[in-house]
Amino acid sequence: MYAHIAPSYNALHGAEQERKIRILLSLCSQEFSTILDVGCATAHLATFFSDKKYVGLDPCKELLAYVPKQIQTICASGEHIPFMDASYDAVLSLTALHNYSDPLQGVRELFRVSKKLVFIGVLRKSAYHDSILAEIQLCAKSICRRTDIHDTLLFCHKL
Ligand SMILES: C[S@@+](CC[C@H](N)C(=O)[O-])C[C@H]1O[C@@H](n2cnc3c(N)ncnc32)[C@H](O)[C@@H]1O
C-alpha cells in the first residue's frame, strides 16, 4: 500500500516520524549498540542511529529501493522476522504494526528478536490500537508511554 508513494515517502512522512522518534529516544537512558527497525520504509530513521549497527526490515521492495546503499536492509515481513531470538539490543517499529495482516504476531516478533529494549509507535486511529497495546503489556516488563498527535509511543523493557 506504500509502493506508490515510495519516491515521495520521506517528503510526505519524514518530519512527522522524526518527531516521534525523538520523543521515544528521550525516554531511553540505556546504552545499546544494535537496532533493528521493523517496517523501516526508506530507512530514513537510520540517521538517528549513526553510532550504532542499524538494520532496516520492510516487506515493500519499492520503499527499500530508496534506502541509501550503505544501510543494511532486509525485505521480509514483520510477522516472521528472519533473525534468532534476542538478536538485537533494541528493536524499533514506528507506525507500522497496524498495517500487518497479523499485528499481534508482529508485536510478539518485536519482543522475540530484542535482547532488552523495544521502541513502538502505534497509530491511535487504528482499529487494532487497543489490542496491540494489550499484547505489548503481555510482552513487556516495563513501559513508558507518551501520547503523540497520531501515535501512542511506548518505550519498553522486554520481560
Ligand atoms: C507509516 S509507514 C512507517 C514507516 C517507518 N517506520 C517510519 O517511521 O517512517 C508503515 C510501514 O510499515 C510497513 N509494513 C507494512 N506491512 C508490514 C509487515 N507485515 N511487516 C513489516 N512492515 C510492514 C510498510 O511497508 C511501511 O514501510
The domain segmentation of the chain, as residue ranges, is 3-158
CA-closest residue to ligand 1 atom 27: 41
> Tens digit of pLDDT for each residue in 103-130?
999 999 999 999 999 999 999 999 999 9
Q: How confident is the model at residue 20 (pLDDT cuts 50, 70, 90)?
A: very high
Query: From CA 122, how far away is CA 54, in angstroms rounded?
Result: 21
Q: Which atom belonging to ligand 1 lies closest to the Cα atom of 123? A: 1
> Tens digit of pLDDT for each residue in 30-83?
999 999 999 999 999 999 999 999 999 999 999 999 999 999 999 999 999 999
Q: How confident is the model at residue 142 (pLDDT cuts 50, 70, 90)?
A: very high
CA proximity to 93, closest of 155, 31, 3, 158: 155
Which cell is 137 given? 503489556
Question: What pLDDT does residue 1 have?
Answer: 83
Distances (CA, A) of 69 to 43, 65, 77: 11, 9, 21
Q: Buried b vs exposed e over 72-110: b needs ≥16 C-beta within 10 Å?
A: ebbeebbbebebeeebbbbbbbbbbbbbbeebbebbebb
Task: Give me the chain's average pLDDT, please.
Answer: 98
Fold held by 3-158: Rossmann fold (3.40.50)
Q: Which atom belonging to ligand 1 lies closest to the Cα atom of 78? A: 20
Percent of the chain with pLDDT over 90: 99
- 147 has pLDDT over 90: yes
| Test site for ligand 1: of 1, 2, 64, 109, most ligand atoms within 8 A of the Cβ | 2
Q: Is the CB of 150 under 6 A from ligand 1?
A: no
One-letter identity of residue 41: A
Q: Which residues contact 114 (CB under 8 A, 6 or more apart)?
A: 36, 86, 88, 89, 90, 91, 158
